[in-house]
Structures are given as structure tokens and as C-alpha cells.
């Protein structure tokens, strides 16, 4: 029986291909770039016959429609109208027979109203449920966020989700293998375990949705505020449409430095190199979004209409960047700088620099002079712990809420380890702040040094 989890880096997304016997296979929650599913099907002599959607994904563009068109497979969903045009709509408890396998749909709302879990029963695994594709209802160590449909109803939806897990999923039994739509690093849940393999029995003893009471759980969800990346809105629209094949990296033009310089003014320059490399030399107007951060961070800067000009380390990184943008629905990467910053600077084109610093040095600076420390992590992270004397502004809101400081103020920016602060310092730089430092290692290094920390006191927060 062929079965494989496909992880999408940067999105923390899991999709699955499940062989169901008799040469038939289903795909669960496919991403937009469907090549890998097709490749695995070919390699394993499988005919893809169904595509299961657990819910209308909001954090990435679905590949269901494209995959259905290429393979002739039918798209399967629950009955809720938010699913849009799918081919087979299963009612709660309704079963789909595929080869020797039975797949039962269970309505598990809470993360979103339409969310469905698919419980899988295999011929050779007897009467018990073998595994469950839980979508964003139940993760390993966490559950899907419940603020997306309506932030005001976060707590109410948390209760609905709690009930879905307890009434629909838990009864499948401790032996059930857990196959959620997201793992660690997703914008759909803040505390997902970085472990992939779990069972309902394991979750039963550790996951907050099991360990806490219904009201405690709702309180937790209300407290755990996560920002909502702007592309979620676009994805919700696009995922109701017929689907779009992925643009090829070949369509991104290789622009020689002077051509790049000329054309970059028509759009935005996004530099996907590391914060270190960016700090030491970059094009003046560039944003810095580290490569793995593109799916999560890019939509705070660009949308599906922005012309994007890329600065990358090499051709592999370019391909990954173009694919990462496309996965969140942004197909407008116009060109990439040939030879990167190295070739740019060899041609005598202007480069700029930024400061980097360390936790120890910042602590020292704080003792001896005037300094602004800006924490750009998510609100729930700030609430857990932060550096005394720092101010907070989530990186995604920074460009619209620039610090009310003189442009030559000394500003140290940090996040957890240094990536999001890399985005932030590039934003501050673009807006004329001249003395900005990225505190590499972030609050993680700060804590490792045993330097002092506060817990949340919202009075400190900058508005």
C-alpha cells in the first residue's frame, strides 16, 4: 500500500497520496504545484481517482482543479456551500468506497464552518479506523486557529471546534493515525509540534483540546492572537475558481544588472538571501524576505498584482522563490538579477549596508546609552515573554505603523532568531531610518544568555 505525506516547506502544509487498492489512489489537500503527485502516481502505477478537500484552504492555492483536469479525478468535499464547485459532496457520516478502502466524511467545523475530517478504513486493518485526515481541525499538539471566519467569534468557534474534536474525531479510537493538513511552521496554528507522527491516543494525553476544559480551551484560543497574512483573502477567492497551473521558473526573466536596475523601478525588489548577507550588501530599495519565509511573509509586502524583481543566491533558490510566491497565488515575478548582488557590485552599481548585532552587545548598549529595541514577533509571542524596555510591533504591520522616532535614532530590531527582524530592518531602511541593527539570534539567544525577560504588560505595547 503506497502512502506518503508531502510537506510544503514554508507553509507547514501537509498533503497526502494514499493508495487504496486495485491501483487506485486519492490525493488529500493538494497544493498548486501538482507535479509531485503525478510523479508519485506514475512511479507507483497508481490511477488518481479522487481528490479530497478537508476545507477551503486559505493559506495556499489549491491544486485540486488542475489535478482533476489532468487526471480525470473527481474532487470530493463536504456539503457546505463554502466548498464551491466540487464533484462529490459527502454528507456527515457518508462513505466513499475506493478500491478496497472506505473513506468516511465527518463534519468537524470550528476552524472554518465547512471543515471536514476523512476517516479511513483499510481492508487489512479490520474494523477499526486506520487513520484520519483531519485538515485543520486537529494538528499534532495543537488545533487550527478559530479567528479566521470572524475574529469577534474566536471563542465561540473554539467551542465548536472543541466539540468537533470530542464528538467526531475522538471516538475513532486511540489507535487512529493522525494526518492533519499542517505541521510545524504553519500560519494556521502557532504551537504545532515539529513531530509529524502521532495517533489520537497520543494526542489524548497532551493536546490542549483534550487536556483543557471547553472554556479553558476557548480562552486559550482568544489569547493566542496570530496575525492574518493578507493573501488569505485572495486565496479564499482563488480556491473557489477553476484553478491555475503553476507558472514555470523559465518564465522569469534573467535580467543583467543594468537591465535589472532599469526595470526594478516598475515594481518591488525582494531579496531572498539570508539576513546576514543582506545586511552586508544590498540594493537600496530592496525588501529582505529570507527564502523559507516567502510563503508566510511575502503577502505583507506584495500582492498578486505587484511586479516583483528578485535577488537570490543562485538558480535553485530562484526556482524555490518563484514556486513559493506561486503557492500563495503570486505569479508576477518579472525578473531575477543575473549573478546576484556579486555581479551587481562588480559592475559598480550602488550597494548599501545595515547593522547586525548580538544579544550580549545589545544588553551592553542598553546599559550605556540611548537605544530603541523593537520586537516584531507575533502578539502571542510577545505576550509570553519579551525584553524589558522593548516595544512591540508585528513585522506585518510595521510599514503602516513606523516608529515615531528620528530617522537617525539607533534602533535594534529582533524577533525570535533573526529572520523576521531581517524583514523589519529592510522596511525601516527603506523608510529612511539610518541606524538600524538586526539582533541576530533574537530573543532565543537573549534567553540562552540568561538575560532578563518580562511577561506581557500590554502597557508597553506600541500602537
Task: Work out which of 165, 209, 298, 318 binds a copy of itself, going by CB under 8 A.
Answer: 318
407 binds a copy of itself (CB under 8 A): no
* Grid cell in block for residue 25: 489512489
| Binder among 152, 250, 400, 404 for a copy of itself (CB under 8 A) | 250
End-to-end CA distance of the chain: 55
Determine if 255 is a binding residue for a copy of itself (CB under 8 A): yes
- Residue 126 binds a copy of itself, judged by CB under 8 A: yes
* Residues 422-441 within binding reach of a copy of itself (CB under 8 A): 440-441
Binding footprint of a copy of itself, residue count (CB under 8 A): 98
- Site residues for a copy of itself, 64-123, by CB under 8 A, read 70-72, 122
Q: Which stretch binds a copy of itself (CB under 8 A): 20-28, 52-60, 231-239, 371-379?
A: 20-28
Q: Which of 154, 320 has the CB closer to a copy of itself? A: 320
- Tell whether residue 7 is a contact of a copy of itself (CB under 8 A): no
Q: Which is nearer to a copy of itself, 22 or 237 (CB)?
A: 22
Joined together, the cell numbers standing for residue 169 give: 474525531
Residue 413 sits in the site that holds a copy of itself (CB under 8 A): no
- Per DSSP bridges, beta strands 101-107 and 95-98 are antiparallel
Going by C-beta distance under 8 Å and a sequence separation of 6 or more, which residues neighbour residue 213? none
Q: Which of 204, 215, 401, 454 binds a copy of itself (CB under 8 A)?
A: 204
297 binds a copy of itself (CB under 8 A): no
Q: 361-400: which residues touch a copy of itself (CB under 8 A)?
A: none
CB nearer to a copy of itself: pick between 160 and 354: 354
Q: Nearest-CA neighbor of 361 among 300, 291, 440?
A: 440
Let me know: does 134 contact 54? Beta carbons within 8 Å: yes
Tell me how far, at minimum, the Cβ of 3 lies from a copy of itself, in Å.
6
CB neighbours of residue 331 within 10 Å:
15
Q: Which residues, other chains included, contact 414 with Cβ-Cβ below 8 Å and sequence gap of 6+?
A: 362, 373, 374, 375, 376, 387, 390, 421, 438, 439, 442, 443, 446
What are phi and psi for residue 179, nearest 5 degrees? Answer: -125, 85
Residues between 130 and 169 that touch a copy of itself (CB under 8 A): 130-131, 141
- Could you tell me the sign of the dihedral formed by the alpha carbons of 255, 257, 259, 265, in that order? positive
Amino acid at each position: 500500500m503506497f502512502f506518503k505525506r508531502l510537506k510544503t516547506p514554508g507553509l507547514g502544509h501537509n498533503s497526502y497520496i494514499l493508495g487504496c487498492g486495485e491501483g487506485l489512489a486519492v490525493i488529500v489537500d493538494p497544493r498548486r504545484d501538482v507535479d509531485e503527485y503525478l510523479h508519485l502516481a506514475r512511479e507507483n502505477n497508481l490511477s488518481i481517482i479522487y481528490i479530497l478537500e478537508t476545507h477551503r484552504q486559505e493559506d495556499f492555492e489549491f491544486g485540486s482543479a488542475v489535478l482533476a483536469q489532468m487526471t480525470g479525478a473527481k474532487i470530493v468535499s463536504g456539503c457546505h456551500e463554502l466548498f464551491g464547485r466540487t464533484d462529490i459532496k459527502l454528507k456527515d457520516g457518508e462513505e466513499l468506497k475506493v478500491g478496497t478502502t472506505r473513506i468516511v466524511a465527518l463534519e468537524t467545523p470550528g476552524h472554518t464552518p465547512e471543515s471536514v475530517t476523512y476517516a479511513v478504513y483499510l481492508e487489512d486493518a479490520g474494523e477499526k479506523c486506520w487513520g484520519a485526515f483531519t485538515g485543520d481541525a486537529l494538528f499534532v499538539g495543537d488545533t487550527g486557529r478559530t479567528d479566521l471566519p470572524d475574529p469577534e467569534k474566536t471563542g465561540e468557534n473554539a467551542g465548536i471546534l472543541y466539540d468537533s474534536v470530542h464528538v467526531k474525531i475522538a471516538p475513532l479510537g486511540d489507535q487512529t493515525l493522525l494526518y492533519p493538513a499542517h505541521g510545524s511552521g504553519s500560519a494556521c496554528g502557532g504551537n504545532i509540534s515539529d513531530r509529524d507522527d502521532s495517533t489520537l491516543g497520543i494526542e489524548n494525553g497532551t493536546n490542549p483540546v483534550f487536556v483543557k476544559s471547553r472554556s479553558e480551551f476557548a480562552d486559550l484560543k482568544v489569547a493566542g492572537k496570530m496575525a492574518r497574512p493578507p493573501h488569505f483573502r485572495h486565496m479564499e477567492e482563488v480556491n473557489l475558481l477553476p484553478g491555475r497551473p503553476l507558472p514555470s521558473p523559465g518564465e522569469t526573466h534573467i535580467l543583467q544588472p543594468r537591465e535589472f536596475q532599469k526595470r526594478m523601478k516598475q515594481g518591488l525588489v525582494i531579496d531572498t538571501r539570508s539576513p546576514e548577507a543582506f545586511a552586508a550588501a544590498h540594493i537600496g530599495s530592496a525588501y529582505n524576505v529570507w527564502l523559507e519565509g516567502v510563503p508566510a511573509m511575502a503577502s505583507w509586502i506584495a500582492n498578486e498584482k505587484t511586479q516583483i524583481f528578485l535577488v537570490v543566491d543562485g538558480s535553485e533558490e530562484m526556482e524555490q522563490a518563484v514556486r513559493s510566491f506561486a503557492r500563495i497565488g503570486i505569479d508576477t515575478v518579472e525578473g531575477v538579477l543575473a549573478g546576484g548582488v556579486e555581479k551587481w557590485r562588480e559592475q559598480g552599481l550602488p550597494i548599501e549596508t545595515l547593522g547586525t548585532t548580538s544579544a550580549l552587545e545589545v544588553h551592553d548598549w542598553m546599559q550605556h546609552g540611548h537605544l530603541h529595541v523593537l520586537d516584531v514577533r507575533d502578539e502571542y509571542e510577545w505576550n509570553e515573554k519579551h525584553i524589558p524596555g522593548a516595544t512591540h510591533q508585528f513585522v506585518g504591520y510595521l510599514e503602516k505603523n513606523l516608529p515615531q522616532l528620528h530617522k537617525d535614532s539607533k534602533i535594534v530590531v529582533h524577533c525570535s532568531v533573526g529572520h523576521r527582524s531581517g524583514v523589519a530592518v529592510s522596511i525601516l531602511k527603506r523608510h529612511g531610518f539610518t541606524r538600524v541593527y538586526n539582533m541576530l539570534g533574537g530573543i532565543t539567544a537573549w534567553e540562552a544568555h540568561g538575560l532578563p525577560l518580562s511577561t506581557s504588560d500590554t502597557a508597553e505595547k506600541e500602537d
